[in-house]
Amino acid sequence: MYNVMIVDDEHVIQLSLQKLLKKRKDAFSVIGIAEDGKEAIQLLEKHSIDLIITDICMPEMDGLELIEATKKIDPTVKFIIISGYNDFNYAQKAIRFGVSDFILKPIVPDQIFTTIDNIYRQMKRYEYSYTKHNDWVLLLETYKKEIVEYIWQFNEEKAHEKISTIIEGHHKLQNNPFSLSQLLENLLKDIENELINRNLSLPQRQPEYMKWPYTMDLIIKRAKNEISYLINTIKGLRNLGSRQNILKAVEYVKENFSKEDLSLQEVAGNIGVSEAYFSRSFKEEMNISFKKYLIKLRMTKAKEMIIDLEMNITNIAFKVGFSDYPHFSKTFKKYYGLTPIEFKKQVEKNGLLSK
């Protein structure tokens, strides 16, 4: 139901319009009556009004001044002007202000009904269109977030599917390639900004790369190519960042392998990444798990120290991160096939053994 305000300084006209509008009570409800424009503005500031039926000639503020003032408060309000004068200049100004109809007194019921029925249909169409537009805007926001996640996860297929869904939705609302190219261009800019907010430094591209085509097939192809470009760019950036992080991690481990409690958690924290991400990245870059790498490094260092005949084997265990000599001896034997003592004896007897 839509709210109506009647503005007229003639009491008879007010009653007549109220009586006529009661016959359309399912569509309209009179919630305010004013005798002039100033009183109408006061009511407008207190109530939500959809339609104003107003006289033109009134004291204080006439109908056209009321329309102008109302448009500044709420430009969506619709107007019907009622006048006792067939003034062409008034009619012209009314049309310029977007008035729905200009009705001459005396009021003819059928003319009022025709006018308000037309306005009702217009309002319903606008309401439906507005609702659909709002739903579409909310849906686009959801799709955008989903595409960002798919790109982040390198799920090109899902991201392309979501782009196709957006194109289909746009086609149902408005089959216009030009507006589609604008929509996708803005959407992809928003997606890039979302990715940049995740501390990604996406490279700047030349202006010619930013121009969008205007035919449907080329627009679809361009949008999907943009998604693929973003995924490949992020892959490259992540690989570079991951490689640099792993190099830092390796240096840290080499400097701290003698600490018995050196852990994956500590090393991941040192380079500022999660344990799961570090564990996965380390294995991808080094072709060995962190745990095995640490054991290998400790055993390699232990072997080098054993070759230095002046160092006590128990001290060597401590220096490579073992507080428990039996555990060190067992690990060394598992790795080289000899206990540290057996290995030292063989070195003394035969010289350096290579593994």
Rounded Cα gap, residues 202 and 193, in angstroms: 9
- Token digits of residue 84: 């006792």
Residue 354 has a pLDDT of 45
Q: What is the mean pLDDT of residues 71-95?
A: 78
Q: How confident is the model at residue 303 (pLDDT cuts 50, 70, 90)?
A: very high
* Residues in contact with 163: Cβ distance below 8 Å, sequence separation at least 6, in sequence order: 147, 184, 220, 223, 224, 227
Rounded Cα gap, residues 126 and 13, in angstroms: 29
Residue 94 has a pLDDT of 72
Q: What is the mean pLDDT of residues 105-117?
A: 90
Residue 320, judged by CB atoms within 10 A of its CB (0-12, 13-18, 19+), counts as buried
Residue 214 has a pLDDT of 66
Summarised one tens digit per residue, pLDDT across range 43-54 is 998 999 999 999
3 state DSSP class of 343: helix
* Residues in contact with 248: Cβ distance below 8 Å, sequence separation at least 6, in sequence order: 270, 271
User: Among 89-93, 215-219, 304-308, which is the least confidently predicted range?
Assistant: 89-93
Rounded Cα gap, residues 235 and 156, in angstroms: 12
How is residue 323 annotated by DSSP?
S
Checking 180-186 for CB contacts under 8 A at 24+ apart, the result is 180/216, 180/219, 181/212, 181/213, 181/214, 181/219, 182/212, 184/212, 184/219, 184/222, 184/223, 185/210, 185/212
Q: How confident is the model at residue 280 (pLDDT cuts 50, 70, 90)?
A: confident
Rounded Cα gap, residues 97 and 114, in angstroms: 21
3 state DSSP class of 211: coil
Averaged pLDDT score across all residues of the chain: 85
Summarised one tens digit per residue, pLDDT across range 53-74 is 998 888 778 888 898 899 888 8
* Residues in contact with 298: Cβ distance below 8 Å, sequence separation at least 6, in sequence order: 257, 320, 321, 322, 331
Q: Which of 175-189, 239-253, 329-343 has the highest mean pLDDT?
A: 329-343
- Total residues belonging to the chain: 355
Q: Which amino acid is at 261?
A: D
First and final C-alpha spacing in the chain: 88
- Structural domains of the chain sorted by starting position, each given as residue range(s) with its CATH number in brackets: 2-107 (3.40.50.2300), 133-237 (no CATH), 292-350 (1.10.10.60)
- Token digits of residue 123: 């309002």
Residue 298, judged by CB atoms within 10 A of its CB (0-12, 13-18, 19+), counts as buried
Summarised one tens digit per residue, pLDDT across range 137-180 is 888 899 999 999 999 888 999 999 999 888 888 777 765 555 78
Nearest to 304 by CA among 352, 268, 351: 352
Residue 50 has a pLDDT of 92
